[in-house]
Homo-oligomer: A and B are copies of this chain.
Amino acid sequence: MPELILLDHSGREPLYMQLYRHFRAEIEQHKLKEGDKFPSIRGLADSLSLSKITVEKAYQQLLCEGYIKSGNRARYSVNKFVESSWPAPASQAAKPAESPAEPPVRYDLASGEMDMGGFDFALWRRYINKAFTDQNRLMRYGDPEGETELRRQIVNYIRSRGVDCHQEQVIVGPGVQSLLNMLAGILKPYHGGIAFEEPGFKNGRRIWEDRGFRIIPVRLRREGIDTGELAASGARLVYVTPSHQFPTGYIMPIGERIRLLNWAGQTGATIIEDDYDSEFRYFGRPIPALKGLDTEGTVIYMGSFSKVIPPSIRISYMVLPDRLLEIYRKRASVYNQATSTVEQLALARYMADGHLERQIRRLRKLYNEKHALFRDNIRTVFGKRVEINETESGLHMVLTVKSALTPRELYDRALAKGCRIALLQDYYLGEAPVAPSQIILYFSKIPAAEMPTAIRLLKEAWFETS
C-alpha cells in the first residue's frame, strides 16, 4: 500500500472525504488492483496521524459504493472492478441553449391568456396566506381526488351550469390536459378509439393519440358535432365542447344536445363534455351544460379555472358519473394529487367568500367591452376584406381573410410584423378545407388601448405590400 497520502488539513474538505477520494482514484486508475489488501484502520490512522473514526468513515464509504470488500479480521481489500467502456464524462454545463430564431412577438393574438388587469393579485395573495394557517394539512400529500373544501365549492359552482352532482364525483387536477390524461388511462381498457370534433382541441386530442387511441374525426357543423356522422362512425367515446365549440365558437342547440345524449344512452357510449369558456357569453345567460340533461350517467363533465383566474394557478376538475367512480378508484387512486394544496385551499375559500363569482362578473364585463372594441376595430380597419364569425362569446374570433395568401403566408407575414396568430387549419386532424383562409385571433390579453395598433399591423401585413 502507498504510504504517502497528502491531506489538506485546512478544513475545506473533511479529511475522511479526502481519504476516500484518494483511494477511489487509486482504484479507478488501477494503482490498486483487485484483492489488494487495505491497511488496518488503526495502522493507517497511526501512520497518518488521523483519528480512527476518520479512517473508518472513509473505508465505509468505499465499502458502500462497492470499491472495497471486507475480508478476514476486519481487513478490507479492493473489490473486483468493472471497467467502464467509455471515456470519462465531459462537462456539458457550458452547452448553449438551442434558440429558435423567431422574430420577437409584440402582440400575441394566439393565446387566450388573461388581460393584464384582469385579476386582483393582492386579494388572491391574502387567500394564499390564509391557507397557510392549516399547516397540518400542508405537511401531507394532498387528497388524490382533491381537497374536500374545494370539491364542495365546485359542486356549488357548477350547479349554475345546470350540473347536479355530489362531492365524491368531483376530481381535481392541475389542468384539463392532466385530467384527460388520467381519463385516457382509466378508459383505455374499454375503448380503442375516441371521436373528436373536426376541427377541435388539438392539444387535448394529442393526449389520446399518445395513449394509443384511434382518433375518429367527426365533422363539425354550425350545430356542433355532426351527430349523424358520429353515430355512423361506430365510436363509443366522444369529446365535445358544446357550450362554445373550440375553436369555432359554435354553440350546440338543445335539439342536438338531446340527440347526442340519446345516441349515448342507446349505444352505451360515453361523452366527455369540456365546458370550455362557458363563463364568457356576452349575450343572454350562459347555456346550461350538456351534463345538466344527463340522466343516464353517460357524460363526464370537465371544467377549468384557467380562464377566470390566471393559468399559472393550475386547477381544473372533472365530474365522473357514478358508474366510473369505482373504476377511477381502482385505477387512478394510486396517483398522487399533482395540484398544489395551498392553491386548492386558497381557491376554496376565495370561492366560498363569493370572490370567484365577482371575478367572473368583472371579467365578463371587461371581455364584453374588449370583444366589441376588437370587432369594431377589425370592421373599421379591414372593411370588407375580412368576415368575422360572430358568436358573441369566448376570448377569440374566427376571421375569414379575403386574400390570395395562403394561411401559412398570413401567419408568417403577421409574425414578421410582431403579431402571433393561430390558423384554423391547424386544429384539423385531417385535411382542412382549402379555401377560404380562416384565422383565429384572441383578444383577451391585448390591451384595449393597443387594439387599433395590433389590427393595423395585421392589415399592413396582409394587404399593404411594401
Instruction: List residues of A whose CB falls within 8 A of some B CB.
Output: 16-17, 20, 57, 60-61, 64-67, 79-95, 97-98, 111, 113-114, 116, 118-119, 121, 125, 128-129, 132, 135-142, 155, 164-169, 174-175, 177-178, 181, 185, 188, 202-203, 206-207, 210-212, 223, 251-259, 261-262, 265-266, 283-285, 287, 292-296, 306, 310-314, 322, 331, 334-343, 445
Contact = CB atoms under 8 A, between A and B. Distances in A.
B82 A262 contact: yes
A167 B97 CA distance: 8
A333 B311 CA distance: 16
How many copies of this chain are found per oligomer? 2
Nearest to A128: B128
A342 B253 contact: no
Contacts of A206: 334
Contacts of A294: 89
A109 B28 CA distance: 41
A372 B65 CA distance: 22
A309 B55 CA distance: 33
A121 B113 contact: no
A92 B338 CA distance: 28
A254 B67 contact: yes
Contacts of A210: 185, 188, 331
Contacts of A166: 92-95, 97
29 contacts: A57-B284, A60-B284, A61-B284, A61-B285, A64-B251, A64-B253, A64-B283, A64-B284, A65-B253, A84-B258, A85-B266, A88-B295, A92-B322, A97-B166, A97-B167, A97-B168, A98-B168, A113-B141, A121-B138, A137-B312, A138-B312, A174-B314, A178-B338, A202-B334, A212-B212, A311-B336, A312-B340, A340-B343, A343-B343
